[in-house]
Amino acid sequence: MAEIQLRNLAKRYGSLKVVHEINLEIANGEFVVLVGPSGCGKSTTLRMIAGLEEISSGEIFIGGKRANDLAPKDRDIAMVFQNYALYPHMTVEENLSFALRLRRMPAGQIKERISEVSAILGIGEFLKRKPGQLSGGQRQRVAMGRAIVRRPEVFLFDEPLSNLDAKLRSQMRAEIKKLHMLLKTTVVYVTHDQVEAMTLADRIVVMKDGHIQQVGTPLDIYSQPVNAFVAGFIGSPPMNFVESEGRLLGMRPEHLRISSTSLGNAKKYAAKIELIEPLGAETLLHALVNGQKVVARLEGSTSLKSGDAIDLFIDSDKQKYFDKQSGVSL
């Protein structure tokens, strides 16, 4: 069993506290994504789980065993980094087998594992090549293969896709998701990309300034954010906020439309278009509502143009209200 428990986990660098007594339980086989802006403490938390960062206070349990004083090699984890961390002078096959050879695993067993992993990741034809002869996506597959071949209890991913282009990131997200469904291993995945978080996670942990803001399924985080920070961070484009009667009114771009088709529960807001972004299957409409900027995401194309005065509609049950001072959901 590879459940992970973080109990009052904290990290300080001198007087600077970067992770504040966080508590989190990750079930065996669960895919959990730590997400948040740069400097929120997500990578530091991951590195403490891995044993690469010293814990200032609190406890980590992996598979029921207290891991605070365990060396990284004794935690039965494998980590995939942003920069691949492959040995450039070794072939793909040698990179995959390196950790197994250090353990003095029999050659036949090593060959069997490499064959299995190569088939899963589709890298069999690259085994005799060196990393410099591979594309970014191929190198990332090899990095994942090197982790998988060890058959660890826990996989830790530290922004593994951030160096890839948009199309390849989308492809690799799908591959990582399928890989987890196949292996059913516990995964802790760090990213600043909320699209990755939403598409990959069983549960999302949203962090800010070293604090956990909210933990929940992607749908829970999206539809029931506990505060304005979470609401604004999760969603693409992010939630619009406008001041309304001393509160913050939150409206997601995809919930705004330019015609009322509801049964009388739609709210209407007068708006003036500032900018239109045609994206093919959808259009982003940038407008001003009471002098405040909002974005509406419309299906298909539109004949509207900059400067047009329009009405924007949103169902009243799609609106969210937040306290203006604290940002807490009302």
Q: What is the CATH number of the domain that holds 14?
A: 3.40.50.300
Q: Give a yes or no: residue 248 inside a domain.
A: yes
User: Is 179 found in the same domain as 222?
Assistant: yes
What is the C-alpha to C-alpha distance for residues 20 and 260, in angstroms, rounded to an integer?
46
Q: pLDDT at position 262, please?
A: 58
Q: Decide if 76 is inside a domain.
A: yes
Provide the domain count of the chain: 2
Choosing from 181, 201, 228, the residue where a domain stops is 228
Q: Are residues 223 and 246 in the same domain?
A: no
Q: Residue 179: its pLDDT value, please?
A: 87
pLDDT of 264: 63
pLDDT given at position 169: 84
Higher pLDDT, 120 or 323: 323
- pTM of the predicted protein model: 0.90
For the segment 40-47, the average pLDDT, to the nearest whole number, is 97
Provide mean pLDDT across the span 62-81: 92
Dihedral angle sign, alpha carbons of residues 71, 75, 80, 85: positive
* Structural contact between residues 120 and 148, judged by C-beta atoms closer than 8 angstroms: yes
In this predicted structure, the answer to whether residue 286 has a pLDDT above a threshold of 90 is yes
Q: Are residues 248 and 221 in the same domain?
A: no
Q: What is the pLDDT of residue 244?
A: 80
Which pLDDT band, with edges at 50, 70 and 90, does 295 fall under?
A: very high
Q: Are 126 and 90 in contact (CB under 8 A)?
A: no
pLDDT, residue 56, reads: 97
Question: Residue 32 domain-assigned?
Answer: yes
Residues 256 and 135 reside in one and the same domain: no
Q: Which domain holds residue 248?
A: 242-323
Q: Are residues 310 and 249 in the same domain?
A: yes
Model confidence at 137, pLDDT cuts 50, 70, 90, reads: confident
Residue 166, burial from CB neighbour count under 10 angstroms (0-12, 13-18, 19+): exposed
What average pLDDT does the structure give for the chain? 92
CATH label of the domain that carries residue 247: 2.40.50.140
Domain membership of residue 330 (yes or no) is no
Answer yes or no: is 237 within a domain: no
pLDDT of residue 245 exceeding 80: no
Mean pLDDT calculated for residue range 266-293: 94
199: buried, middle or exposed (CB in 10 Å: 19+, 13-18, 0-12)?
middle
Both 55 and 97 in one domain: the answer is yes
